[in-house]
Amino acid sequence: LTLNQTLTLILTYLYLILLSTYLFNLLDSKASQGELGWISSPSHGWEEISGVDEHYTPIRTFQVCNVMEYSQNNWLRTNWIPRYSAQKIYVELKFTLRDCNSIPMVLTCKETFNLHYLETDEDQGSKFREHQFSKIDTIAADESFTQMDLGDRILKLNTEVREVGPMTKKGFYLAFQDVGACVALVSVRVYFKKCPFTVKNLAMFPDTVPTDSQSLVEVRGSCVNNSREEDPPKMYCSTEGEWLVPIGKCLCNIGYEEWGVACQACRPGFYKASSGNVKCSKCPPHSYTHQEEAVHCDCERNYFRAEEDPVSMACSRPPSAPRNVISAINETSVILDWNWPTDSGGRKDVIFNVVCKRCWPGPRQCEPCLGAVRFLPRATGLTNTTVTVVDLLAHTNYTFEIEAQNRVSSQAPTIRQYAAVTITTNQAAPSAVTVIRKDRTSRNSISLSWMEPERPNGIILDYEVKYYEKQEQETSYTILRSKATNVTLNGLKPDTTYLLQIRARTAAGYGGSSRKFEFETSPDSFSISSENSQVVLIAVSSAVAIILLTVVLYIVISRFCRYSKSKHPDEKRLPFGNGHLRLPGIKTYVDPHTYEDPSQAVHEFAKELDASCIAIDKVVGAGEFGEVCSGRLKLPSKKEICVAIKTLKAGYTEKQRRDFLSEASIMGQFNHPNIIRLEGVVTRSKPVMIVTEYMENGSLDGFLRKHDAQFTVIQLVGMLRGIASGMKYLSDMGYVHRDLAARNILVNSNLVCKVSDFGLSRVLEDDPEAAYTTRGGKIPIRWTAPEAIAYRKFTSASDVWSYGIVLWEVMSYGERPYWEMSNQDVIKAVDEGYRLPPPMECPATLYQLMLDCWQKDRNNRPKFEQIVSILDKLIRNPSSLKITASTASRYVTQETSTDITSFHTMGDWLESARTLPCKDAFSGVSYSSCDTLAKTSAEIYLTEVRPAATCPEWEPSMGITTL
């Protein structure tokens, strides 16, 4: 405490103590040393006398004792007493009174006297009229004294207090009327009560005089200097002059702390950053303040505070450089490890950034590494002291600079704190060949070409091509070497499947082998027995080939001409598009987005209809772009047909028009009984329309819900077969639907199901089921394969996953997949290996098909072609649909679940479970996989599926063989 502070404190308290007396005197006869000058009437009545009080302090008293005369009426009037703000005043009288009985020979003796008052607005001087006064009370003594008491010098002092009020005038007089008593007025005190000035919760409350009524007076406090209101401060002043019920408070401003009843500035070296009644804090390490009232402390030189650092945090500095960098090189990758800096700068948020430079020998010449180099987990913002750098060039010098940073590094002078290490990568073999394509196939030869490995790691000397008959299982194989990236394998057997692997060789040796590619030679259409007949055959085939070539050339040229007329980049067929090998003779889907002018795509693939040929009957639903109506289409010289008409609502933007018509451009390319047929478009008049065949029963999901449990299993399988057939057609065309779901299947009056909804952007915009993923895309989570959700890998295999969900929707009559689970929970459950359980009464074979469609590894899922063929066989052999999935799974869990992984085929499993009644039901249905023979139970919601890797003989492409 400084001297100043102590003095302030003492003075403040003294002031408050002085003010805290709640009785305010208007008159105190004791306080007067000289004559009081009160008026006595008649003059021989009350007498003013000097005396001493019980403490022997000199006082002025008045006394009267005319007991020896009759009819006494002696008045004593005070001086004029100003009222100030008082409404109710108190009169305290101290007096002694002589006991009448103790006075011998008295004529008239009283033991009381009267108290009166008179209100006036001004001092009336010596003018006194007794009739103007009002009586307050008759005052009697509690104790009177006798002659004996006088002798013993015992003073029997009486104290009486009387209230007067409410007073209204500016002042008043008091008067004492004696009617024959022997009385001495020792003191007269006149006062009123008030709530005195006070400071409560750092708020000042002024002197307050209570009202005369019984109610409390509400008083607003005002904050002491250097403080502010937190809650409005309030108190109530009672009629007794007491402060009651303090409410609200003030808080010391920033830079000030509470000190008694005041707010005091923080001393140098201390700060207070927030208002509140807390003490000033000492400056944190490496900071200071030389001023009073500091709200924060400044950082010392070379120390800093990050933007988000609280002022209570010590100032810090950039970390020192990382230490002891070591590198472990493995061919073209390197693991860098280092030690934490000795000085982290006083912070915990140290991160490391790694800069890669490629250097040449000689005078240090370096340049930043090119984008191909990858850092694992990343190059910047590392919180651990290690990083792996991959995809470096072989035999190359690199320098890595590892820089330590923390949040204040950016404020420090530009000195980079880093440690560097220089390495030379090893010689490395080339990476594997990944892209191989079949150029030509004949009965005895196959021509192949491939792409150079992504990382050759040197000059490729040659490629080794190893091939063998699939049936031989690698026991005998042939090896060819080729310097070029293509080769023709001759002398092969006709109609035979071969497996083939390619690897590249550099000076560092052979690279990894490619995965096994499977190719078939053409079938032997003639029975050939001799060399001659082979020659004849070659001649005939050559002739046929020439004719075929001519026809193909003609088609290609005529198509080319059509394409070039539309000024469109003519080649829209991607040889490896969507991971599909196009089937010969099947058209390829053309993405309308590849057209510079999308309206050209519409006219290429859709017929322009005259609006006058269309009659709209009624609205059947709402699409993204406008209403969907039913109506009729009557083309000249054709029969009138029922159609569905999608309209584009008025006020559309150009983009909306393009997106709307893109559906027609896509649909118009398809021609299949299980794909909704486009009749044409109306683009030249308004409204713009897309006209399709009419599907009487609407969407499949609603249709099934409406007819719950009303179909036979064969009927349901028939519908599913249709959908699979439509999807096979789409996947053969290279079209990935992305939004296959029962709601996007339409059903006609013959229960034929057709795939619909072919928008582009619309696919995901339009579908109410589509939700935004963390990667920003909009995806119908419940229907979408995990790889498509995770990294937007949409392929026909992801369509197969969705088909599995449609299968489940159909078998459960339009139940919502995963019921009311949230999208996030669905993603998590599927990722953890759980799958939807079999719907009620679902044939085991169909549930098995669902599980196959939901294989995590998309290569293990069946192709649509296989699905169509499985369903065909189930339809031909209805008994295979008799056993329901829950029954079968019960057998699996009870009898064979422990070693199910040891069965490589469903047949194996059935053999081992020969005694079980389910075997018959499965005869005729054989799967070469056992991995998806999952443990299921009617009691659990979702089914856990074992990973495919548990079956050693599992061949992904052979996931489902023929029935």
Question: Is 810 annotated as ligand-binding?
Answer: no
Asked if 694 is part of the footprint of ligand ACK (rule: CB under 6 A), the reply reads yes
Nearest Cα to Cα of residue 644 among 672, 671, 670, 664: 664
- Of the residues 620, 751, 790, 942, which one makes contact with ligand ACK according to CB under 6 A: 620
Q: Which is nearer to ligand ACK, 630 or 937 (CB)?
A: 630
CB atoms within 10 A of CB 338: 23
Query: What tokens appear for 471 in the block?
Result: 């049936």
CA distances from 74 to 100, 116, 176 (A): 18, 13, 8
- Of the residues 702, 777, 786, 907, which one makes contact with ligand ACK according to CB under 6 A: 702
CA distances from 590 to 387, 453, 595, 605 (A): 45, 30, 9, 10
Question: Is 621 annotated as ligand-binding?
Answer: yes
Residues comprising the chain, all counted: 963
Q: What is the dihedral of CA 717, 719, 723, 724, to 10 degrees?
A: 20
- Of the residues 644, 797, 842, 930, which one makes contact with ligand ACK according to CB under 6 A: 644
Residue 856 is given by DSSP the state S
Catalytic, 349? Answer no
Which one-letter amino acid corresponds to residue 900? I
Asked if 878 is part of the footprint of ligand ACK (rule: CB under 6 A), the reply reads no
Q: How far is the CB of 746 from ligand ACK (least distance, A)?
A: 5
Q: How far is the CB of 460 from ligand ACK (least distance, A)?
A: 55
Q: Which residue is nearest to ligand ACK (CB)?
A: 621
CA distances from 497 to 465, 518, 521, 675 (A): 16, 7, 7, 33
Residue span 729-768 as binding mask against ligand ACK, x where in contact by CB under 6 A, dash where not = -----------------x----------------------
Asked if 674 is part of the footprint of ligand ACK (rule: CB under 6 A), the reply reads no
Q: How far is the CB of 621 from ligand ACK (least distance, A)?
A: 2
Q: Which is nearer to ligand ACK, 494 or 702 (CB)?
A: 702
Q: How far is the CB of 690 from ligand ACK (least distance, A)?
A: 10
**Cβ within 8 Å of residue 140, ≥6 positions away:** 111, 112
Angular region, 239: left φ>0, alpha ψ -120 to 50, beta rest: alpha
Candidates 296-304, 491-499, 540-548, 693-701; binding stretch for ligand ACK (CB under 6 A): 693-701
Q: How far is the CB of 512 from ligand ACK (least distance, A)?
A: 50
Asked if 690 is part of the footprint of ligand ACK (rule: CB under 6 A), the reply reads no
- Of the residues 628, 751, 942, 958, which one makes contact with ligand ACK according to CB under 6 A: 628
- Integer Cα distance of 297 and 284 in angstroms: 8
Show the DSSP H helices in 854-913 as ranges: 864-876, 885-891, 906-912
- Dihedral (CA of 194, 196, 200, 202) sign: positive
Asked if 38 is part of the footprint of ligand ACK (rule: CB under 6 A), the reply reads no
Which one-letter amino acid corresponds to residue 540? V
User: Phi and psi (nearest 5°) for 540?
Assistant: -60, -45
Q: How far is the CB of 628 from ligand ACK (least distance, A)?
A: 4
Question: Is 623 annotated as ligand-binding?
Answer: yes
Asked if 381 is part of the footprint of ligand ACK (rule: CB under 6 A), the reply reads no
Number of residues that bind ligand ACK (CB under 6 A): 13
Per the CB < 8 A criterion, the answer to whether 354 and 382 are in contact is yes
Q: How far is the CB of 676 from ligand ACK (least distance, A)?
A: 6
Residues 173-232, interacting with ligand ACK (CB under 6 A): none
Q: Which is nearer to ligand ACK, 700 or 870 (CB)?
A: 700
Please report how many Cα atoms fall inside a 13 Å half-sphere around the Cα of residue 369, on the Cβ side: 22
Q: What is the DSSP string of 554-620?
A: HHHHHHHHHHHHTT-------TTGGG--PPTTS-----GGGSSSHHHHHHHHSPBPPGGGEEEEEEE
User: Phi and psi (nearest 5°) for 203?
Assistant: -115, 140
Q: Which is nearer to ligand ACK, 628 or 790 (CB)?
A: 628
For residue 12, give the 3-state DSSP assignment: helix
Question: Is 627 annotated as ligand-binding?
Answer: yes
Candidates 327-335, 441-449, 619-627, 800-808; binding stretch for ligand ACK (CB under 6 A): 619-627
Asked if 790 is part of the footprint of ligand ACK (rule: CB under 6 A), the reply reads no
Q: Which helix (H) or strand (E) segment is 847 a member of? A: helix 844-853
Q: Which is nearer to ligand ACK, 419 or 644 (CB)?
A: 644
Asked if 623 is part of the footprint of ligand ACK (rule: CB under 6 A), the reply reads yes
CA distances from 794 to 148, 180, 788, 802 (A): 124, 122, 5, 11
Q: Which is nearer to ligand ACK, 38 or 625 (CB)?
A: 625
Q: Which helix (H) or strand (E) segment is 546 a member of? A: helix 531-565
Q: Which is nearer to ligand ACK, 179 or 628 (CB)?
A: 628
Q: How far is the CB of 752 from ligand ACK (least distance, A)?
A: 12
Q: Which is nearer to ligand ACK, 620 or 942 (CB)?
A: 620
Question: Is 325 annotated as ligand-binding?
Answer: no
Q: Which is nearer to ligand ACK, 178 or 679 (CB)?
A: 679
Nearest Cα to Cα of residue 304 among 289, 290, 315: 315
Place of tokens 């009759």: 70
Candidates 618-626, 654-662, 708-716, 904-912; binding stretch for ligand ACK (CB under 6 A): 618-626
Asked if 647 is part of the footprint of ligand ACK (rule: CB under 6 A), the reply reads no
- Of the residues 248, 268, 512, 698, which one makes contact with ligand ACK according to CB under 6 A: 698
Asked if 631 is part of the footprint of ligand ACK (rule: CB under 6 A), the reply reads no
- Of the residues 692, 798, 869, 929, which one makes contact with ligand ACK according to CB under 6 A: 692
Candidates 286-294, 317-325, 440-448, 692-700; binding stretch for ligand ACK (CB under 6 A): 692-700
Question: Is 217 annotated as ligand-binding?
Answer: no
Nearest Cα to Cα of residue 178 among 80, 93, 101, 88: 93
Question: Is 620 annotated as ligand-binding?
Answer: yes
Three-state SS sequence of 699-721: EHHHHHHHCCCCCCHHHHHHHHH
- Integer Cα distance of 590 and 733 in angstroms: 9
Residue span 440-469 as binding mask against ligand ACK, x where in contact by CB under 6 A, dash where not = ------------------------------
- Of the residues 37, 51, 232, 621, which one makes contact with ligand ACK according to CB under 6 A: 621
Beta bridge pairs of residue 304: 316
Q: Which is nearer to ligand ACK, 623 or 734 (CB)?
A: 623
Q: What is the dihedral of CA 496, 499, 505, 508, to 10 degrees?
A: -160
Per the CB < 8 A criterion, the answer to whether 366 and 358 are in contact is yes
Q: Which of 739, 766, 799, 852 is catalytic?
A: 739
Q: How far is the CB of 643 from ligand ACK (least distance, A)?
A: 8
Asked if 695 is part of the footprint of ligand ACK (rule: CB under 6 A), the reply reads yes
Question: Is 624 annotated as ligand-binding?
Answer: yes
Q: Which is nearer to ligand ACK, 335 or 628 (CB)?
A: 628
**Cβ within 8 Å of residue 214, ≥6 positions away:** 239
Asked if 673 is part of the footprint of ligand ACK (rule: CB under 6 A), the reply reads no
Query: So which residues are the catalytic ones?
Result: 739
Going by the annotation, the residues of the binding site for ATP are: 620-628, 646
Residues in contact with ligand ACK by the rule CB under 6 A: 620-621, 623, 628, 644, 676, 692, 694-695, 698-699, 702, 746
